[in-house]
Structure 1
Amino acid sequence: MAKILAAYFNSAASKDRYRLRLESIGRFLTNEFATDHSIKYIESSNVFIVIVGFNESLDISEDQGLLGFSNTGKWYDEAVYPDGNFFIYRKSQGSLELISDLAGTRSIWYYKADEFFSFSSMQIPLILLKGDFNFNSKVVPWMISSGSLGPGYSWDKELSLLPRNTSLKFHLTTREICITKITRLSVSSISNKKSLLKKFNEILSESISSLNISPQHTVHLLSGGLESRLLLIFLAIPKKLKCVTWGSIEAINSKKSDVGIAKRLTDRFKLDHDIYTLDEPALKPQFILDEFLKYGEGRVDHMYGYLDGFKLWKSFARKNIHTVIRGDHNFGRYKSPSEKMVRKAIGCEFISDVEDKILIEARILQNVPDWLLKEKYESNLDYADRIGIDFRHPYINSALNDLKHCFVEVNNPLMNNRLVGFSFSIPNNFSQEKKVTRDINGRFIREISYAKPHSSESLNSVLSGRFKGVLLEILKGATKEDLADICLDEMFIQGIIKGIESKSATHHDRGVSNFIKKLIPKRLKKRGTAFKRNKVPEIRLAFRVVMLLNMARKIRGIMRNNT
């Protein structure tokens, strides 16, 4: 339930020379967060630590800290690399060590200067400490194509992201950084289904039994899908956790939506269940956008779950909810008919994947690391598994988790190191279509189906409605200097504006079209996706450009006002 900035200076004199910058960090964090969150400082002669969203249950000091969950109380021991999902730092006599979990479920940036070493779960305070802002142009094509900052990039080109499954040691005397991988898995595939299911049950049960869960301070985020049902069976029902589901008003009134299915499940097992609506028509779109950028620092464009201006998450904090149980997983993916569709499903689309006239004419160059490319003899399922663990979890899911960390801790039991490691042993014929998870769920709950998505429940439709006006206003108000600052040209922006306005002029009712789509069998829809044109709707492009514009402006404004 916290975000952290920590700086370790060479000496007390070094820290004193940075006093004004440390004060500017304090001013920024107070202005940004103090209304809704507790802020705590931990300082000594050469150490400065500030925690946003502080709670007395946190185990954080000058010498060690745990954000997240560990399966052992001895995580601070130099020889221990625990299971769980977490970020850990621990200081010994000779070094400061940063540790990430196997899937990179928490994002930590670090920066080394001549007089200090610093790490943070927030980019802006680290940029303030650094003292200048060097916009990273590499994030631009990734935000345009995938709605994220891309593979390990940050807003400032001089900040580094701690990789997943990593121990980083900063040696206090030599000031050298040594980075090593923690877990080197030797995985053998389990081809017998009965043995596989037995092993999965065993590891899942052991993993969950090691969790220190306080039912009065914990809620289970229950959707109508597979993974949240698995955790309902193994965790929420045994611990009698309260369940929470949210959705649009339309979804709440549908028996087949996430809300409808979740209600049937909680009614059957007699669990407390709170239902929240994301519809807050009184909130101004600009306010919602500002809150989204404040808590997520513009790292990912998945704004749909925060259209209430974080009202849900603020209510958790007020009700003394410390932890939410979330069902991220690594136990199988749906079969994709093409390499491009694999990347689209993972949230890792390239500029070259998008067959869009506006993007083609813009000629935006993108740096794609070789490891993100499909290998010559790699199947689509193997490719999906690989970039799922190497891209989706550490760059998309971690960004989604960070949106909530000022309010609550996010516990992903299915992302514990041991379970993620076990997922690598599941062969494709069992992992495809999430067969293993379906099989285990089916042994406990057969008569309640999974939720069916609603066609209107999409960010694009919300952007085209409530947010279109403010997005167009921001784009039309952008100067050539604004666009040059984020490495985009005026013709690209005008193409987006024209596309949005032309669609508005020719808008027609899509109800019949959506009704016909629902009648098409799922297997035929999947075959059709192989030939479907990959296109980012103009309204989504507009939103992504606005995120780039607003974050660049925000960071530059904060630097001017606080330095």
Structure 2
Amino acid sequence: MAEVIQICFRTKPERVNADNIERLSERVLPDNVSPDPPLIIEGDRYLIGVLNPRGVHRRNDSIGLGTILDEEWATPDTQHPSGSYAIFRNDAKNTEFVSDIVGSRTIWYGSTNGLFVASTLQRAVVTFLQQYTPDPQTQAWMLSSGTLGPYRSWAKEVEQLRPNSILRLDRESWSWETDYHPATFETVSRSFDEHYRALVNTIEDTLSAWPVSTDTDVLTLSGGYDSRILLHHFSNQYPEIKTLTWGTPQSIETDLSDAAVAKRLADSYAVGHQFKPIRTDTVPVNVVIDRFITAGEGRIDHLSGYLDGFALWDEFHAQGTKQIIRGDEGFGWVPSITRLTAEKYVRRGIGLTTVSDISELDKFDIANQQLPDYLRRNEKEHLGDWRDRLYQEVRIPTTLAALNTLKSPYVELSNPLLSKEIISCVRQLPSELRDSKGLFTKYVDSITPKIPYATTSANPDLSTFLTRTDTVKYLKSELEEAIRSTELPPELIIYISKRIRVSNSSSTTHLKLDFKRIIKKNTPRVITDIIKRLYDDELFPGYNRLGFRIIIISKMNKNLTEDSEYLTN
């Protein structure tokens, strides 16, 4: 719910004051949020601002967001606490910025000779640094993958604190260093039963210690494995826990949709449950997209759950909901590894689709994307270990954290399955027990009701929204502006704009997607790998979605340019 900015300085500049932090909230929060008054903390050579501070942890001059289990979390020179969080902590001499084991809540930072700025918002860092240089690599990643790419920011001046890191700033000597612990997958020699029991004990111990307030917290429930295990444990500990699912009005009546399965699960555990319909025709297209880009700082293109213009999330905030409990996790990923699995399919499965993967983009002069050396596969690294290392070090802090950022202007987020104890236990499993979350799903199946898992999403279809007549008109209009306001080749923008089309074939699209899911589910993995070798699927997102991604780039470029000049006007 809260956004934090901390500014450290040798000599306090005129622009670093409480008034400018209060003005910041008017610019960086969506227009349908009525934020609580900001919390301002002034210390020795630092100023902290907490925008919309409901639900934050404060101890003296230290601020924590999310869920923090250790009592000593606010003390510098201590190690990473348990939980899912972002921490800004201070004492008389030092400042520390702490990310959790998978970077579930992002901290951005940048510096000049006399100023160090850290925040959960890129735009806040740019505003107080008064510097913005667009990063062509970031723009290329947004175009090809719909995300900012691994550890990238819109601005060259802004860096992302990597997962499992502590950045320590000595305010007296004006020096800083980062203590980073990379994800290490090292299989512990155990029998299958021993691995199973270790994972089960870790999950159960963590969830037993996880704090939940039935007055102000809501568990989001889907038809999958992850929220199901949270429901099972928390409904026993907290019988009055509230659960929630949202989706299209018809999804609650659609058999095996997330919404329909979630209701069956809630009924089976006798907990309170609400279904909130997302209506996609009540808010103008420009308002939907502007709020989406503002709320999430343009970090991701996953718009489908927010086509109501964030009305659902504004309602949570107005009702006094402080925290949403989510089932983000890192138990393993796809594809299952066979002798025919290629590295590029592992990379693409994580979401690291590059311009060179998409022939329609590769023929234009766009920045060449490269994975940092530390994210490349090591010489003797098992392909399954690399897959899950990329998931925990890239997909969670890039994709899932971006999805959390979309909600954070309205509510706080809590992710029990991302605690360091659970993640550390997963890293001790052999790769084959992590394939498709295999060991975890065995545990869920053994203790939860025999209710089928969902096979379709309850969210509106994004392609349907992007091909509506009013949306296409908006996309084409905005792309004309994008030619003048991005570093992308104008000929690329014109090429895509000409190919954007209105479509009324949503039912056909759903049939194709359902058929694809059936084939994928019932085809052995080795056969899938053979097919991929014979037919190289390029993951083309469609011209309308490419146009939408260009608009995200254009609008963020405009926002950040204005941010860098705001305090001088």
Name the TM-score, length of structure 1 as normaliser.
Answer: 0.91
Give 1:340's aligned residue: 344
CA contact (8 A) 1:28 1:558 kept: no
In 2, distance between residues paired with 1:554 and 1:136?
14
CA contact (8 A) 2:107 2:119 kept: yes
Higher alpha-carbon deviation: 221-230 or 403-412: 403-412
The code of the aligned residue for 1:303 comes to L
CA contact (8 A) 2:466 2:545 kept: yes
The code of the aligned residue for 1:252 comes to I
Give 1:476's aligned residue: 480
What secondary structure does 1:177 align onto?
strand
What secondary structure does 1:215 align onto?
coil
Task: After TM superposition, give the deviation of residue 343 of structure 1 in Å.
Answer: 2.4
Give 1:44's aligned residue: 42
Instruction: Extract unaligned runs of 5+ from structure 2.
Output: none
Give 1:81's aligned residue: 80
Give 2:129's aligned residue: 130
Q: Percent identity?
A: 26
Show CA shifts across 1:48-69 (max 9, x none). 22111212x5233663111111
Show CA shifts across 1:55-111 (max 9, x none). 2x5233663111111112221233343111111222233321111111111111112
Is 1:444 aligned to residue 481 of structure 2? no
Measured at CA, do residues 509 and 401 of structure 1 come closer, stay the same or move farther in structure 2, by a change above 3 Å? Answer: closer
In 2, distance between residues paired with 1:167 and 1:363?
34
Give 2:66's aligned residue: 68
The code of the aligned residue for 2:424 comes to G
In 2, distance between residues paired with 1:557 and 1:93?
35
Task: After TM superposition, give the deviation of residue 168 of structure 1 in Å.
Answer: 1.1
Give 1:309's aligned residue: 309
The code of the aligned residue for 1:405 comes to S
Task: After TM superposition, give the deviation of residue 24 of structure 1 in Å.
Answer: 4.2
In 1, distance between residues paired with 2:208 and 2:20?
44
What secondary structure does 1:15 align onto?
coil
Give 2:544's aligned residue: 539
In 2, distance between residues paired with 1:548 and 1:189?
44
Measured at CA, do residues 254 and 349 of structure 1 come closer, stay the same or move farther in structure 2, by a change above 3 Å? Answer: same
Q: How does 1:153-552 map to 2 (within 5 A)?
A: 153-181=152-180, 187-240=186-239, 241-335=241-335, 337-354=341-358, 356-453=359-456, 457-465=460-468, 467-479=471-483, 481-482=484-485, 486-501=486-501, 509=508, 513=512, 517=516, 520=519, 522-524=521-523, 527=528, 528-529=531-532, 531-534=535-538, 535-552=540-557
Measured at CA, do residues 489 and 181 of structure 1 come closer, stay the same or move farther in structure 2, by a change above 3 Å? Answer: closer
The code of the aligned residue for 1:261 comes to V
Higher alpha-carbon deviation: 293-302 or 178-187: 178-187
CA contact (8 A) 2:117 2:129 kept: no
What secondary structure does 1:263 align onto?
helix
In 2, distance between residues paired with 1:307 and 1:151?
27
CA contact (8 A) 1:191 1:427 kept: no
The code of the aligned residue for 2:284 comes to K
Show CA shifts across 1:378-421 (max 9, x none). 44422211111111111211111111122222111110011111
Instruction: Extract unaligned runs of 5+ from structure 1.
Output: none
The code of the aligned residue for 1:42 comes to I
Measured at CA, do residues 519 and 28 of structure 1 come closer, stay the same or move farther in structure 2, by a change above 3 Å? Answer: closer
In 1, distance between residues paired with 2:457 and 2:212?
33
Show CA shifts across 1:416-446 (max 9, x none). 0111111111112221122212211111235
In 2, distance between residues paired with 1:525 and 1:215?
43
* Count of residue correspondences: 552
Show CA shifts across 1:442-491 (max 9, x none). 11235211001259954233222263221121113434x32xxx321121
Measured at CA, do residues 377 and 310 of structure 1 come closer, stay the same or move farther in structure 2, by a change above 3 Å? Answer: same
In 1, distance between residues paired with 2:551 and 2:222?
30
CA contact (8 A) 1:245 1:262 kept: yes
CA RMSD of aligned residues (A): 2.7
In 2, distance between residues paired with 1:238 and 1:61?
28
In 2, distance between residues paired with 1:107 and 1:454?
27
CA contact (8 A) 2:56 2:66 kept: no
What secondary structure does 2:116 align onto?
strand
Measured at CA, do residues 455 and 373 of structure 1 come closer, stay the same or move farther in structure 2, by a change above 3 Å? Answer: farther
What secondary structure does 2:500 align onto?
helix
CA contact (8 A) 1:142 1:149 kept: yes
The code of the aligned residue for 1:426 comes to L
Higher alpha-carbon deviation: 311-320 or 258-267: 311-320
Is 1:58 aligned to residue 53 of structure 2? no
Show CA shifts across 1:212-269 (max 9, x none). 2111111111100111111111224432211111112332220210011111111111
Measured at CA, do residues 169 and 467 of structure 1 come closer, stay the same or move farther in structure 2, by a change above 3 Å? Answer: same
Is 1:109 aligned to residue 112 of structure 2? no
What secondary structure does 1:289 align onto?
helix
What secondary structure does 1:302 align onto?
coil
In 2, distance between residues paired with 1:307 and 1:507?
16
Show CA shifts across 1:308-335 (max 9, x none). 1111111112222111111111111122
What secondary structure does 2:95 align onto?
strand
Task: After TM superposition, give the deviation of residue 504 of structure 1 in Å.
Answer: 5.3
Higher alpha-carbon deviation: 469-478 or 180-189: 180-189
Give 2:9's aligned residue: 9
What secondary structure does 2:38 align onto?
strand
Measured at CA, do residues 190 and 207 of structure 1 come closer, stay the same or move farther in structure 2, by a change above 3 Å? Answer: farther
Task: After TM superposition, give the deviation of residue 17 of structure 1 in Å.
Answer: 2.9
Task: After TM superposition, give the deviation of residue 5 of structure 1 in Å.
Answer: 0.7
The code of the aligned residue for 1:330 comes to G
The code of the aligned residue for 2:216 comes to H
Higher alpha-carbon deviation: 262-271 or 209-218: 209-218
In 2, distance between residues paired with 1:373 and 1:113?
31
CA contact (8 A) 2:105 2:404 kept: yes
CA contact (8 A) 1:40 1:52 kept: yes
Measured at CA, do residues 88 and 25 of structure 1 come closer, stay the same or move farther in structure 2, by a change above 3 Å? Answer: closer
CA contact (8 A) 1:24 1:128 kept: no
In 2, distance between residues paired with 1:121 and 1:176?
22
Give 1:557's aligned residue: 562
In 2, distance between residues paired with 1:196 and 1:211?
23
- In structure 1, which of residues 30, 40, 50 is the aligned counterpart of residue 26 of structure 2? 30
What secondary structure does 1:324 align onto?
strand
